[in-house]
Structure 1
């Protein structure tokens, strides 16, 4: 099986934004030399700065956010990465809101056990996911007083700080949606539904291949 690399949707048009921003900025400087055109130059300058800003933000995402290999799935984030062997993934599906009808723009992964993932993930990436997935958590566990969000002062399963808050969030998300990890649409090159189909098909083939190889090796040779 060949590995498959997925480029994020969030990086699309980043180069176009940078080029347009640079051109608008140069044009604003040129027009700014004429007093009567300074208002136009100012507007172009604002547009140029906005285009450059969003272009730079888009370029900060890694060129590859998902890598499917025969061994497992790698999720690459600007703050780090996590890796899961296919055997460790129990279920893949589209998370739904509590009403059970509307799907979220994520692909959800339910793990057989979260301990290997928690032991491997870095606090830097855990903090980034903790902040990015807070809206998901608030949907799963609405708070009237605003005090139910895990904080880095909590302790959980012998962990403290960022890791304890991350574990607490995993528990809330699993309770609310039935999944542990979530891949957002911005990190895919296709819709969540299409991405789910690809992940399921690739995982099935990756799990079948070793068993087929073992069965072939164990079968007796044909009579001579």
Structure 2
């Protein structure tokens, strides 16, 4: 089977934004002696475009690799890998009350998964912060539950960031049904199409491994 590389949508147009920002900045400098007021506005706009383009360029060129061995997720703070056999279910997560699909690919892992043993604290902290909006969808903010617990009853040996990450994983599993989430911004197609692609690839990979 050939490896499939997924390039993130968030990286698109980064060069265009930086080129436009550079041109506007040059124009602002040229106009400043003659029209200082408008040139300031152009300068601010150009810096905003340059900054946005720079931020987009920080994302990985490839965010997801589908290989015969499993799924590789490449994040700017690190990466994780899941063998196909450790994925119990994958689909779009849905809101608990309305069942409206969320723009994510959800991955539910088998109970014996080893994901927490291989992820780095730096990446765990980044995912902990990025997935806070998902956690808030299933938590009661009035009861002060919008922040994940700093300890995990299922993983008492973990401490600090890793304990908080494990606790949030458990809470998201209970609330939305999945352990890991790929946001639409790291994909090159809709979440629904990505789910279909991964399912098909996984089935072929497992079939070849038999």
TM-score, normalised to structure 1's length? 0.89
Distance 2:75 2:208 in 1: 29
* 1:143 shift after superposition: 2.0
Distance 2:159 2:170 in 1: 15
Compute the RMSD of aligned alpha carbons: 1.3
CA gap of 1:168–1:114, structure 2 versus 1, over 3 A, is farther
Cross-structure match for 2:183: 184
* 1:146 shift after superposition: 2.6
Cross-structure match for 1:29: 29
Cross-structure match for 2:93: 95
Question: Mapping of 1:184-223 within 5 angstroms?
Answer: 184-211=183-210
Name the SS for the 1:44 alignment partner.
helix
CA gap of 1:100–1:91, structure 2 versus 1, over 3 A, is farther
Cross-structure match for 1:67: 65
Structure 2 regions of 5+ residues with no counterpart? Answer: none
* 1:142 shift after superposition: 2.1
* 1:114 shift after superposition: 5.8
- Residues 10 and 56, structure 2, Cα contact 8 Å, conserved in 1: yes
- Residues 11 and 63, structure 1, Cα contact 8 Å, conserved in 2: yes
* 1:101 shift after superposition: 2.2
TM-score, normalised to structure 2's length? 0.95
Structure 2 residue corresponding to 1:56, chosen from 32, 54, 57: 54
Structure 2 residue corresponding to 1:124, chosen from 122, 125, 132: 122
CA gap of 1:155–1:178, structure 2 versus 1, over 3 A, is closer
Instruction: State the number of aligned residues.
Output: 208
Q: Displaced runs of 4+ in structure 1, greater than 2 A?
A: 145-148
